[in-house]
Structure 1
């Protein structure tokens, strides 16, 4: 009889395309994983994977099997969530994905209140880029994700809990630094230092400024705002920082000044994303209310 573990092992190999890495992810030996998958293929009477010493390939019929395995895994997760939803509110495990341009600035403000109000909550945080987290929510690998919108989230439910604007950050001796507000036409577009392609914060900042393309003379392929801030402090350019990150990124640097971007707002919306079939939607709604109330506190 086909077991749930066999399907989970097969999905792990699909993700890693490597038997040893898949075994490590499943916390079993490579031989045990191989034996389980060989037995699965024998039970089905077909080959899911082609493997040799160098690579693993998925057969055409194997892709169909893995799609069905993913559906089974998601259904089992929804059964677990349904059972969890009948327990004491937020007293069960929840895995939340969060993008790097939100997590470091949101979580320190939220987690003390969250753990105090729901001490039985078993929370796991996974940090990754938006497109990865959206796929993980869709595939049932995580319960929910916190993203900055707009972003392509077709087929998922969204629970908005925060809206914010961007601030233009420059050195205090910049002639424009003393303004309370600034428009995107007033500063040098070519001097903007932004995250590398693939980070939605860059897309949101450009959209807020109404810039379609930008040339970055000091581009270093930064993946973190913490990398960009010393460059701005050194006079190598300016940058855009969301309101949520000002306390951590700008205020510790007396040589920097943040000026509100006076363009159509809000410049980005922060929301939970969840599958429509997620059985514990009431838990996400509770989290949304808690996050919103905590962020609104001065």
Structure 2
């Protein structure tokens, strides 16, 4: 196309108005404009980027001219092939926003999804199909123009209900009803009850009882004097008061700070022991 046939709106329109008019003019000729900002520390680096991604195709480069204004030139490869400025001011650096702007003019592939606009018939068909409760993939398959599932979802979301809406829950065609939702069970706080076992005080007869000789160990068992029995206390209380930590609950009861322990006075020897004299000697006999 000759350059004189390309319209020029620079002098009487703002930047946004120029861009809209450019896109409309290109759309009439089935041309799509792709703009890409590029950060480069020098014009040579920017041209290298343009040459690599243009693959021999001419492209538009916007940057700062020698007159210190934003300017546009036409490039191919790493060379500027046309400068519309009468003084050939060219491009020497990035635009005022800090970017080199590259624009590629391309024609969409025939039948490419999402590239064509929605006609009034397409929108009405979209509204009817969405009202039938179909999924986005089913709607896309029935619409003309080979539209994609994402194109259908995007159009419905941007329409905000104007063209209908997806139900959001897929249909179970095997049984003809919506797939049931699985409800999560309500979490409840569980506080286990920790039983405290009461110990019956020893009788005078039990206090006088002594253990018989045992032949199952290599060395004789030391006779442990029967100390007055104590009521179990919690493990936390025993730790805070330096009492015996021997477990006094059932074998399979839960442990923790509230589990029952002996609670008797700890033995003086050895130093820093955690048990009373009776339980300390019993543990030594089992270990032997």
TM-score normalised to structure 1 length: 0.17
More strand by share: 1
TM-score normalised to structure 2 length: 0.18
More helix by share: 1
Name the structure, 1 or 2, with higher relative contact order (CA <8 Å, separation 6+).
1
